[in-house]
Amino acid sequence: MNVLFKDLLGIFKFTEDIYARIKKILVPSQAYAWQTFIYLSVFSLGISYFAIGYIRDIIALCGWLFLIAGTAWYTTDDPLRVPGTFMPVGAVITGLLVSVFAFGNQQEIITPRTIVLWPTISAFITAIPEFIEGTDTDSKTQIPKPEAREKIIILVASCMMLSCWLQFYFVMDKWLKEYPSVLADDFQRSTFVRRTDIIEKVPKNGIVILDKLQPLVEQQIDERPWSQVERWLLDAKLQVGNLGNRVIEKNLEEYEEKALWRVEPRVVNTKSGGYRLDLLSIWGGPSSNRKGYYLKKSCRIEPVAVSTKKAITTANPEDKIAVGEIECDRVNKFVPDSPPPLQ
């Protein structure tokens, strides 16, 4: 019985300790405390939900300021330092809140600018106390001591360098999203870009151009009278160029690199009396290869004799006409070289 009583007493004491710790965190010892600012920020958030117009913006602004002040106060009471620096973890948290407040928006709270400026803002927040001397009620500005100045300069410079690297990452990421064909290049000697197995060696947009262009060209040639086909091939540069521009505008409209692609044809006579039409999607953007590269889809065009309606009714085999028949390769060829000259 005594053992059971002691166990129950121990449980009650453990519960009482937990309650005391929670009470110490949630209930401020005086009105002027960090909990007061946190509660004011929560209250402002709730009130702003029911407000409208500029009143809502003002209340939300006050809520952000209360949240930043309360967080900064709480995290600096017993600061935990970032390993290897004199920067408090609280300054990092406060820096994030300030960055989100200053550079976030309603559609996207965390933006690239928020992340880029976060380290630098945290460094400045860490340095502010070094310029203030005294207590909360009686303080004045001061010039930091020489040893403190050195630490501040190193910390701020390091955080600014980190911000620069973060900005460089976002710039590269934006470029590669707007110009994905750049990833088809060789980055073995690059210090900043590393290719993975997911990235294709052949530019996807170049393939899209030729695959969408092929059926348009087939419509212009297939089963057309041979005389019309030959006239079309004589003017192939203009015809294919116009079709290519339509394909690029329609299928690459979301990419900035669409202006760096162009389409050109190459027409070659064959021994059978037909033609070989090479459709080229040529990359005009940056490349590690001095000659650039292009993709090629070859199409074979041959004259085929077909019976006319007159031949069917009269059973005369001579009443036939020659029409064009086109067959294109399924696979596009990637050529790391400058395109062949126009003939």
The pLDDT value recorded for residue 18 is 65
The pLDDT value recorded for residue 199 is 46
Helix and strand totals (H; E) in the chain: 10, 7
pLDDT over 60 at 10, yes or no = no
Q: How confident is the model at residue 143 (pLDDT cuts 50, 70, 90)?
A: confident
- State the Cα–Cα distance between residues 303 and 90, nearest whole angstrom: 79
Higher pLDDT, 177 or 19: 177
In the chain, DSSP assigns E strands to 132-134, 139-141, 261-269, 275-283, 293-307, 320-328, 333-335
Q: How confident is the model at residue 217 (pLDDT cuts 50, 70, 90)?
A: very high
pLDDT over 90 at 242, yes or no = yes
pLDDT over 90 at 265, yes or no = yes
Closest CA to 117 of 94, 140, 95: 95
Closest CA to 34 of 93, 103, 115, 100: 93
Average predicted confidence (pLDDT) for the chain: 79
CA dihedral 255, 258, 261, 265 (to 10 degrees): 120
Quick one: average pLDDT of 171-188?
77
Higher pLDDT, 3 or 327: 327
pLDDT over 90 at 178, yes or no = no
Domain boundaries, the chain: 2-178, 204-335
Give the model confidence (pLDDT) of 47-104 as tens digits: 777 777 778 878 877 887 888 877 777 766 656 677 667 677 778 888 888 888 888 7
